[in-house]
């Protein structure tokens, strides 16, 4: 393998690693060591300076013991154990805040992602400064409840594409590399659960940070999935709407407001023809509701535009 360049970004000490790989672990004791071996071998072969930040999210099995043993074997491992379970979003947020590398990689410890391609994702950021994030876009779906997940993810992805005006091949891939300095202002927006990857995607796209999508394979996970279809699908949809509302509320509210006003106005014309000078309550309600939602949209947009920072 050709050795990859690892320049030191401005503001980063020469002793700091270039890459921090954030690896959240929750009850992954049976296979996390295999994942660590794979990541370590790949990163050592790449020539990139790195640290592997393993976060034990208050596991109830032997995950922490396995990580402690691995930390004594692999010097690149930095262990961060949680006393309380905070969710994958919390682990990734704190891991990114604690990262020493300028390029942060998110991945999972369940053997699903092609972690041997992490150096490739990092190299894209090194070679092309115009990209701030590189995402491993999965070409297949191997998760539980596949017959439900595929149409649900397609629908959520299309909503996100519509609201961001961007093509998004994979909205919630857990394998991604990004510039830590760009991501830091958005970390406070991350939810605690799986939708944190959706949030970081929409935050970047909504603020004109370019994302490169690299097709990757996706394997069946090892161990037991923590994904709950109904609860997490609802959270995904809610988080997409919340993020677009946070950055561009007019896209969510104004179309609804205009449609209500148009429908109410058309119904009012019909009512006038059928019953001169008589407007039913539902006609008035349509128009008034549209005006109120439109006013709320303009007010929300004013708040967004007057906000300092993110």
The tens place of each residue's pLDDT in the chain, 310 residues long, gives 444 444 545 544 457 899 999 999 999 999 999 999 999 999 999 999 999 999 999 999 999 999 999 999 999 999 999 999 998 899 999 999 999 999 999 999 988 999 999 999 999 999 999 999 999 999 876 555 565 667 777 877 887 888 788 899 998 899 999 999 999 999 998 888 767 888 899 899 988 999 999 999 987 766 565 555 566 667 777 777 777 788 888 888 999 999 999 999 999 999 888 888 787 889 999 999 999 999 999 998 888 888 766 6
**177-to-54, 118, 128, 195, 301 alpha-carbon distances in Å:** 16, 8, 13, 17, 31
Residue 37, CA atoms < 13 Å, CB-side half-sphere: 7
Which pLDDT belongs to residue 1? 40
Q: What's the pLDDT score for residue 309?
A: 62
Tell me the whole-structure pTM to 2 decimals: 0.79
List residues bridging with 213 in a β-sheet: 135
Contact 170, 253 (CB under 8 A): no
Q: What is the CA radius of gyration of the chain?
A: 23
User: Please, are residues 156 and 232 in contact by the beta-carbon 8 Å criterion?
Assistant: no
HSE value, Cβ hemisphere, 13 Å, CA-based, for 21 = 28
3-state SS assignment for residue 229: helix
């Amino acid at each position: 393998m050709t050795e990859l360049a690892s320049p030191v970004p401005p503001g980063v000490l020469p002793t700091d690693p270039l890459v921090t790989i954030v690896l959240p672990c929750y009850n992954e004791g049976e296979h996390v060591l295999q994942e660590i071996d794979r990541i370590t071998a790949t990163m050592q072969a790449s020539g990139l300076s790195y640290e592997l930040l393993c976060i034990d999210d208050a596991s109830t099995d032997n995950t922490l013991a396995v990580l402690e043993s691995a930390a004594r074997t692999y010097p690149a491992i930095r262990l961060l154990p949680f006393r309380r379970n905070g969710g994958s979003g919390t682990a990734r947020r704190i891991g990114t805040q604690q990262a020493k590398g300028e390029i942060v990689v998110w991945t999972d410890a369940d053997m699903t992602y092609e972690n041997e391609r992490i150096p490739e994702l990092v190299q894209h950021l090194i070679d092309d400064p115009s990209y701030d994030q590189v995402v491993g876009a999965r070409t297949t779906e191997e998760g539980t409840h596949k017959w439900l997940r595929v149409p649900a993810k397609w629908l959520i992805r299309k909503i996100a594409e519509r609201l961001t005006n961007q093509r998004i091949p994979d909205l919630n891939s857990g394998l991604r590399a990004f510039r830590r300095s760009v991501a830091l202002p958005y970390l406070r927006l991350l939810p605690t659960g799986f939708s944190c990857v959706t949030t970081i995607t929409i935050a970047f796209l909504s603020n004109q940070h370019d994302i490169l999508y690299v097709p990757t394979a996706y394997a069946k996970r090892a161990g037991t999935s923590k994904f709950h279809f109904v609860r997490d699908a609802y959270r995904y949809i809610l988080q997409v709407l919340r993020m677009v509302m946070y950055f561009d509320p007019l896209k969510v509210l104004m179309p609804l407001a205009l449609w209500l006003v148009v429908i109410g106005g058309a119904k009012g014309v019909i009512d006038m023809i059928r019953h001169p000078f008589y407007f039913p309550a539902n006609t008035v309600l349509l128009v008034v509701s549209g005006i109120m939602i439109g006013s709320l949209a303009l007010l929300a947009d004013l708040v967004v535009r007057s906000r300092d920072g993110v």
